[in-house]
Chain A
Amino acid sequence: MLLQVRNLSCGYGSLEVVHGASLHVCHGEIVGLLGANGAGKSSLLKAIIGLLPPWAGEVFIDRRPTTGQPPWRSVSNSTVLVPEGKMIFADMTVRENLIIGGYHNPDRIRHLETVLDGFPRLRERLQQVAGTLSGGEQQMLALGRALMARPRLLLLDEPSMGLAPLMVKEVFTSIRKMKDLGLTVLLIEQNANAALRIADRAYVMETGEIVLEGPAADLAHNPEVKRAYLGKG
């Protein structure tokens, strides 16, 4: 198991929003974390990486306890978060954004080429100011920037948000390619259809609790998932 989370609780102020969630991600897996808006998915992810202090529970990355450690240490643990809303540096060029992603990586210039091979569209726009990219391209940039840190575990928060359907397809194809490169991905998504298509396993979260876990193909046929997230039944 690359990521192991046990009974993680977290919240804001006095409000607990994640109530003792447990999940795990094995090496080389894409695991989806599905749920409606406000279910606690992003908070759980933030607590895993240390952006939100956990109230209870444990996080292990590659068997080492990382509960409550500062987020910058996660990068040294080869865990990188691609936050919701991309959060690219809009005033900097595409190249600068990518180089910043590999800040702690002494080999970043050479690695830049490898990353650009996976995102040819970014190569065409290397000197363009990132804020002028389209939504889909900005998402690609956010993914590319994360890859510059040479992560083993990638935490993706709503990569399809606000993207046109064609772009969503392209972004998910890129995520699928990352798996082929040996990366492990925990993917938060509201677009259950797209997520279940590329994930190996998935969890479903409702009001701060994980209510379902299973192979993605099985969850796609679960009556509750079909009704609540896939718009069927």
Chain B
Amino acid sequence: MSTFDRRYEQISRSELEQMQLERLQALLARLRRNVRRYREKLGDFRLQSLADLPRLPFTTQEDMVESFPYGMFAFPLREVIRLHSTLGPGGKPLVIGHTRNDLALWSRLVARQLSASGVTANDVILISLGGLTQSGAVGYVRGAELIEASVIAEDPLHIDYQLAMLQNYRPTTLITTPTNALDLIRAIEQRRVDPQSLYLRTVLLSRPVDRETREQIASGLFAAVRCNFGLGEILDPGLCVECEVGLFHIHEDQFLAEVCEGELVITTLAREAMPLLRYRTRVAAELCHDQCACGRTGVLFQPGPRLDHRHQVREISFYETQVAEVLAQTRAAGLRFHLTPSERQLQIALEISEDYFASAMWPADDPKRSIEAELLARLGLPAEVRYVEPRAGSGPAA
């Protein structure tokens, strides 16, 4: 294991605080000059020390929605060479822009994670994140190229093809989602492949998992398991690094982290195209300034659950309102529903009364299948619809 950017990953607290103060002051000056929304919010406030941070205004997802698409950009669009989209509140899209320097920085931050995971120039990396998390894959490719590891430039969606690639290309590192890793283990078991016959040394998961899942993946793929945590609006991957001890360190030379009312709040200190000041991430978190045995000095961070109605099924993120919108355009319109997201499927309980099928040609006209097909087609969500008796008082109506 190694530290890619020792100068910044092990920076002393006093130097870090000086750097953060300088970067934050410069950021405020840039925001006042280049972003109208911040100019109005900031007025002529001058920050004297990091202790003044709570006096600065927050940025919310609603600010980003109102400024959609390019209103938060600090540079004209012609200077922005990469656009990414991420899921905003209620399923509305948010646009994230990057300049050339932003992308170079992204590479360095991802390289820090890869190095901490033990990936070196001698490794071959297979990235299987699925088409829906393509922007993450781009980040991993950039980081891997920076440390000169070999990247297999294919993202096989089919599990058998993935297994074949693991056997044929002999990758030593697999970057994937927890769901896909578990699918792969199932396929390995079904096809009676010995996981030790693969060449994997490291599996880097796109999001944190509980200890049990981590151990299951480690033994199922016979490799060390590392996790990542990212946020599409900030960087995913690239916000933090999971060290050898298994703790997340935020890249504090680039991001100023706070926890306000239990919510993670991030300020991007050096991002050029779209800096965010005190961005409320809608993710619960705890920060801890204890010294870590790995030697990194970035603040320790424990992510918690989301604080909004955003769920995830098979790595597909969605909001309850998106499901409600789809249901409203099916024969479930007007019915009360309850969502139970699980790892593999979204369970939807529709409250119906006995006369619901009175006018229908039961069972040939059962709307369940069409509702499931609609959710799969429009949101990519595998769902299972059940009918339940009306419950007293709960559940929104489609």
Q: Which of B79, B101, B105, B272 has the most CB of A within 10 A?
A: B101
- Cα–Cα, bound, A206→B28 (Å): 13
Known: A22-B18, A24-B18, A213-B22. A221 touches B46 (CB 8 A): no
- Name the distance in Å between B73's Cβ and chain A's nearest Cβ: 11
Contacts of B19 in A (CB 8 A): 24, 213
Cβ-neighbour of B272 out of A1, A206, A223 (below 8 A): A223
Which B residues lie within 8 Å of A1 (CB)?
14-15, 18
In contact, A210 and B22 (Cβ under 8 angstroms): yes
B270 at the interface (CB under 8 A from A): yes
Asked whether, in the complex, the Cβ of B272 is within 8 Å of the Cβ of A211, the reply is no
Report A-chain residues with C-beta under 8 Å of the C-beta of B104: 218, 221
> Which chain A residues lie closer than 8 Å to B21 at the CB level?
6, 22
Partner of A7, one of B33, B48, B99: B48
Q: Does A20 contact B (CB under 8 A)?
A: yes
Task: Provide the bound-state CA to CA distance between A218 and B46, in Å.
Answer: 26
- Given the known interface contacts A211-B29, A211-B30, the answer about A24 and B22 at a Cβ–Cβ threshold of 8 Å is yes
**Residue A19 at the B interface, CB < 8 A?**
yes
Within 8 Å by CB of A210, from B25, B46, B105, B272, lies: B25
Cβ-based interface call for A212 (8 A):
yes
Within 8 A of A (CB), among B46-83: 46, 48-49, 75, 79
Residues of B within 8 A of A222 (CB): 99, 101, 272
Q: Which of B7-38 contact A (CB under 8 A)?
A: 14-15, 18-19, 21-23, 25-26, 29-30, 33
Shortest Cβ gap from A2 to chain B (Å)? 11
Contact B270 A214 (CB under 8 A): yes
Complex-state Cα separation, A223 to B34, whole angstroms: 13
Determine if B30 and A20 form an interchain contact, defined as CB atoms under 8 angstroms apart: no
Judge whether A20 and B46 touch: CB under 8 Å: yes
Min Cβ gap A230→B in Å is 14
What bracket does the count of chain A residues touching chain B fall in?
20 to 34
A191 at the interface (CB under 8 A from B): no
Interface flag for B100 (CB, 8 Å): yes
Asked, given contacts A22-B18, A22-B22, whether A221 binds B101 with beta carbons under 8 Å apart, the answer is yes
Interface SS of B by simple majority: helix
Please report the C-alpha to C-alpha distance between residue A211 and residue B74 in the assembled complex, in whole angstroms: 12
Encode contact with B along A2-44: 1 for CB under 8 Å, 0 otherwise.
Answer: 0010110000000000011111101000000000000000000
Q: Verify A213–B23 contact, CB threshold 8 A.
A: yes
Q: Is the CB of B14 within 8 A of A218?
A: no
Q: Smallest distance from the beta carbon of B196 to chain A beta carbons, Å?
A: 44
Does the CB pair A22–B25 fall under 8 Å?
yes
Are A20 and B25 within 8 A (Cβ)?
A: yes
Do A6 and B18 form a contact, CB below 8 Å, given A221-B100, A222-B101? yes
Given A223-B75, A223-B79, A223-B272: A212 touches B26 (CB 8 Å cut-off):
yes
**CB atoms of A24 and B30 under 8 A apart:** no
Considering the complex, give the chain A residue whose CB is closest to the CB of B99. A223
Interface assignment of A84: CB less than 8 Å from any CB of chain B: no
A223: nearest chain-B partner, CB-CB: B79
- Pick from A6, A7, A26, A209: contact of B29, CB below 8 A: A209
Residues from chain A with Cβ under 8 Å of B15 in the complex: 1, 24, 26
Chain B nearest Cβ from A215, distance in angstroms = 9
Per the 8 Å Cβ criterion, residues 59-95 of A in contact with B are none
B30 and A212 within 8 A (CB): yes
In whole angstroms, what is the CA distance A83 to B19 when docked? 27
Give the complex CA separation of A209 and B46 in angstroms.
11
Asked if B18 contacts A19 (CB within 8 A), the reply is: no
**Which B residues lie within 8 Å of A221 (CB)?**
99-101, 104
Once the chains are docked, how many angstroms separate the CA of A210 from the CA of B29? 7
Q: Which residues of the other chain, B, contact A218 by a CB distance below 8 angstroms?
A: 101, 104-105
Chain A positions within 8 Å of B270 at CB level: 213-214
Q: How far is A233 from B76 in the complex, measured between Cα atoms in Å?
A: 12
User: Are B18 and A4 touching (Cβ within 8 A)?
Assistant: yes
| Residues in chain B near residue A21, CB distance under 8 A | 25
Chain B neighbourhood of A211, CB < 8 A: 26, 29-30, 33
Chain A residues, CB < 8 A from B75: 223-224
Which one of A20, A224, A233 lies within 8 Å of B48 (CB-CB)? A20
Question: In the bound complex, what is the Cα–Cα distance between A179 and B26 (angstroms)?
Answer: 27
Contact of B22 among A23, A26, A206, A233 (CB under 8 A): A23
Among B15, B23, B29, the most chain A Cβ lie within 10 Å of the Cβ of: B29
In the assembled complex, how far is the CB of residue B24 from the closest CB belonging to chain A, in whole angstroms? 9
Q: In the bound complex, what is the Cα–Cα distance between A211 and B26 (angstroms)? A: 4
A79 to chain B, nearest CB (A): 18
A4, A6, A19 — most chain B CB neighbours (10 Å):
A6
How far, in angstroms, from A100 to B25 measured CA to CA in the complex? 40
Q: Which residue of B lies closest to A6 (CB)?
A: B21
Complex CA gap A209/B33 in Å reads 11
16 contacts between A and B (CB under 8 A): A1-B18, A6-B18, A22-B22, A23-B22, A24-B18, A24-B22, A26-B15, A203-B22, A206-B29, A209-B29, A210-B29, A212-B26, A221-B101, A223-B272, A224-B75, A233-B79
Name B residues whose Cβ lies closer than 8 Å to a Cβ of A: 14-15, 18-19, 21-23, 25-26, 29-30, 33, 46, 48-49, 75, 79, 99-101, 104-105, 270, 272
Given contacts A22-B25, A222-B99, 9 further A-B contacts (CB under 8 A): A4-B18, A7-B49, A21-B25, A210-B22, A213-B23, A214-B101, A221-B99, A223-B75, A223-B99
What 6 A-B pairs come out closest when comparing CB atoms?
A223-B79, A209-B29, A211-B29, A22-B22, A24-B18, A218-B101
